[in-house]
């Protein structure tokens, strides 16, 4: 099974692996989305010796921190702006993330992953 999001997720993971070069046995925690359960994504994880971890069915607490962060991002920034270009949106989101994560280790790591997905340099 695959969705239009699977190539996006796989490309973001490739970029993160190239930029960060993590140690073997990295734990990759995701929700139960079809893009993460797809054959191509599982093969990519196996190819790079990454251990897959998924939320349990019906467990909303697994991703509570990231869900809260993205809710704030959308309600405080994205829904109030009309960006002229993708680059302008990327810059505004980058500034929001950096400003909202100073002094928060876990949130900062999540933000770095988001920036990699957005194809921005930290």
Q: What is the pLDDT of residues 73-94, one digit of tens each?
A: 888 887 888 889 888 888 888 7
- Reduced to 3 states (helix: H, G, I; strand: E, B; else coil), residue 105 is helix
8 Å CB contact between 98 and 111: yes
Number of C-beta neighbours around residue 55 at 10 A: 16
pTM: 0.52
Q: What is the pLDDT of residues 29-39, one digit of tens each?
A: 887 788 888 99
Instruction: Give me the residue spans of the domains in the chain.
Output: 5-54, 64-117
């Amino acid at each position: 099974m695959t969705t239009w999001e699977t190539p996006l997720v796989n490309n973001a993971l490739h970029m993160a692996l190239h930029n960060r070069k993590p140690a073997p046995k990295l734990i990759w925690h995701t929700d139960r989305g079809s893009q993460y359960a797809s054959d191509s994504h599982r093969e990519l994880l196996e190819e790079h010796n990454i251990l897959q971890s998924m939320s349990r069915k019906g467990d909303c607490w697994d991703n509570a921190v990231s869900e809260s962060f993205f809710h704030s991002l959308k309600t405080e920034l994205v829904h109030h702006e009309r960006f002229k270009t993708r680059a302008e949106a990327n810059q505004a989101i980058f500034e929001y993330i950096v400003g909202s994560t100073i002094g928060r280790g876990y949130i900062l790591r999540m933000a770095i992953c988001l920036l990699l997905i957005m194809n921005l340099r930290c």
